[in-house]
Structure 1
Amino acid sequence: MDSKGDILFKSKTDSLKNGIVFLLLGIAMIVGSNFIYTPIVLIIFGLISILIGLYILIFKRADNVIIYENAISLKNNQIIDKDSIKSISYKKVKPKGSLPSYYAVLLLNNDSEQLINIAFNSMINKDFEKIIKSYLD
């Protein structure tokens, strides 16, 4: 850890907890619907809650990116040293009817690219944006 330096940024991994909470809430609603007179409303809310929980668990998983002073650690235990990064570019993604988001793309010395799968714009992940833009300075 000392060779990497201090941690500058660590991605949040709360999506797993949120997904499990929604799943448990949905299951509790469906089980609890057996004890009330009109269970259909509680069953519908329980199914909606379960679907939200599955969506969060499957599609909204965090990438577990840790940015150190001298290296970047990605989810798949891939460590990229700061010296092996040639430059950082940004991939723009414009969702329909919303602010455009950007993803950082690391251009490495061996001419390969590595995408950091954390979106940022003027509304979300402002601390990540500051750190990634000043990383090679």
Structure 2
Amino acid sequence: MFNIVLVEPEIPANTGNIARTCAVTGCSLHLVEPLGFSIDDKHLKRAGLDYWHLLDVHIYKSLDEFLVKTNPELYFLATTKGAQCYTKIYYPPGAYLVFGKETKGLPESLLHKYPDKCFRLPMREDARSLNLSNSVAVMVYEALRQHDFPGLK
């Protein structure tokens, strides 16, 4: 029902945890290269455990390729710079929840191109950011909650 997009993820354990979240919720996982690890990385597979057969994974060579192959009307960009709180947004079926790399977030050029698509998770002012896999889980379950958790028991 939803698409989780990781732009240039760097930490295999985070991506593994996110893959597991996608597997148990039925979300598709989109990975935008370059990745900071190999898809075969043992840490990535360990975090995803035995859920890999449940995943629908798409890999893109670049952000430009992702942008060409997907619908920008369905983008929702996670950023600490977002003006909107994630709970104030309606996520339509097929939405792309887009997250940036752990050390830098999403590229400024993307945020400037889609300013009305930027959202944030509330946190203390003196904190830098929430862990990527935790952020994804919070967002996925909010989007699913809005649709009464379709297909989940």
Answer whether TM exceeds 0.5 for this pair.
no
The TM-score with structure 2 as length reference comes to 0.23
Quick one: higher RCO (CA 8 Å, sep 6+), 1 or 2?
2
The TM-score with structure 1 as length reference comes to 0.25
Over alpha carbons, which structure has the higher Rg?
1
